[in-house]
Structure 1
């Protein structure tokens, strides 16, 4: 990462006076000090935690390959937001019960929620949503005689109000 920001000292005139913001790689915000010092948030965000939750109707069980979708999703997310592949997590939940207005049995639902660390631009989040929607539609195109409603929600996780910890594996015995 870049240099650490030092507080401004009015007596000596040293340190940071203000941050300049500008777009960085992968649509994230880059902060630079006016004097050229600073830190690139993009480097920190490369270690972010993209977590994807996929809720899908049980009617899609035979038509939707969860493993295949996840293996196609992770490189796509990494390409768009600059995350590292080992940081990607995808959880799948089958929906056994759902209620529709007219009780139609030929309808299925797939809802995808992507949680990424804050700092990406609105354009980057929108691109991610569009690309994931296209990927999901491609993976559900073979659903026999089903009307599939697909939705994608890209949400940001606030760095200040979230906590992430990875416990290293322990040796048995």
Structure 2
């Protein structure tokens, strides 16, 4: 915990500073949600196809970036909202301009009580 996943259209690949974003989001998660730095884990999952409305996906005119942060239960709604807003602000800073319209979103949710992990 926290489990962070970033799903993104692969057309933002060259415009997205993923390493810088992950580090900044980890720092924000530690500060805002009292997570331990070594507990922050992020996976980036590029998507080869993004469909937007009725537009032809082959036009590559739109890109989506969605951040999901899973935390152990116990954080207030205000804490989750602050972390969500911070994630969006960090996306503004770490995804540069490109030949696409960017649609960015974020959510912070509680991990299910069944969540378990191990380290090796």
TM-score (norm 1): 0.64
Residue 148 of structure 1 corresponds to 102
Higher helix share: 2
Report deviation, 1:102. 2.5
* SS at structure 2 position matched to 1:98: coil
TM-score (norm 2): 0.91
**Larger RCO (CA under 8 A, 6+ residues apart):** 2
Report deviation, 1:162. 1.7
Structure 2's unaligned 5+ residue stretches are none
Deviations 1:115-167 (A, max 9, x none): 00000011111111011111112111x22232100000111013x42212212
**Which consecutive aligned stretches of 4+ in structure 1 deviate over 4 angstroms post-superposition?**
none
The count of residues paired between Structure 1 and Structure 2 equals 117
* SS at structure 2 position matched to 1:130: helix
Deviations 1:81-100 (A, max 9, x none): 11110110000011101222
Greater Cα radius of gyration, structure 1 or 2: 1
Residue 162 of structure 1 corresponds to 115
**2-structure distance, mates of 1:117, 1:131:** 19
Measured on the aligned residues, the alpha-carbon RMSD in Å equals 1.2
Residue 88 of structure 2 corresponds to 133
Structure 1's unaligned 5+ residue stretches are 1-48, 168-173
